[in-house]
Amino acid sequence: MGAVGLALALATTAQAAPKPVIAFTWDDLPAHSALPPGVTRVQVAADLLKASADAKAPAFGFINGVQTEREPDSTPVLKMWRDAGQPLGNHTWSHQNLAALTPDQFTAEIARNEPMLKELMAGQDWRWLRFPFLSEGDTPEKRLAIRQWLAANHYKIASVTMTFDDWAFNEPYARCAAKGDQAAIAELEKRYLEGAAAIADRSRAMAKTLYGKDIPYVLLMHAGAFDARMMPRLFKLYRDKGFAFTTLEKAQKHPFYKTDVDPSLPPQPTTLDGALKARGLPVPPKPVDLDALSAMCR
225 located within any domain: yes
Identity of the amino acid at 63: I
Alpha-carbon distance of 185 to 177, in angstroms, equals 7
Q: Is residue 7 part of a domain?
A: no
In a domain, residue 247? The reply is yes
Phi and psi at residue 266, to the nearest 5°: -55, 130
- Does the structure show a pLDDT above 70 at 176? yes
Residues 108-158: tens digit of each pLDDT:
999 999 999 999 999 999 999 999 999 999 999 999 999 999 999 999 999
Q: In the prediction, which pLDDT does 2 show? A: 53
For residue 75, give the DSSP letter: T
Task: Give domain status of residue 52, yes or no.
Answer: yes
The gap from C-alpha 79 to its chain's centroid, in whole angstroms, comes to 20
**Neighbour-count burial for 250-282, b at 16+ CB within 10 Å, e otherwise:** ebbebebbebbbebeeeeebbbbbebbeeeeee
- Domain contains 4: no
Whether residue 11 is contained in a domain is answered as no
Number of domains within the chain: 1
Kindly report the CATH number assigned to the domain that includes residue 210.
3.20.20.370
d(CA 251, CA 246): 7
What is the overall mean pLDDT for the chain? 95
Q: Rounded to a whole number, what is the distance in angstroms from the first to the last CA of the chain?
A: 65
In terms of residue numbers, what domain contains 142? Answer: 19-294
Do the domain assignments include residue 149? yes
| 99-113 confidence digits (pLDDT tens) | 999 999 999 999 999
Half-sphere exposure of 28 (CA within 13 A, CB side): 21
Instruction: Decide if 29 contacts 61 (C-beta within 8 A).
Output: yes
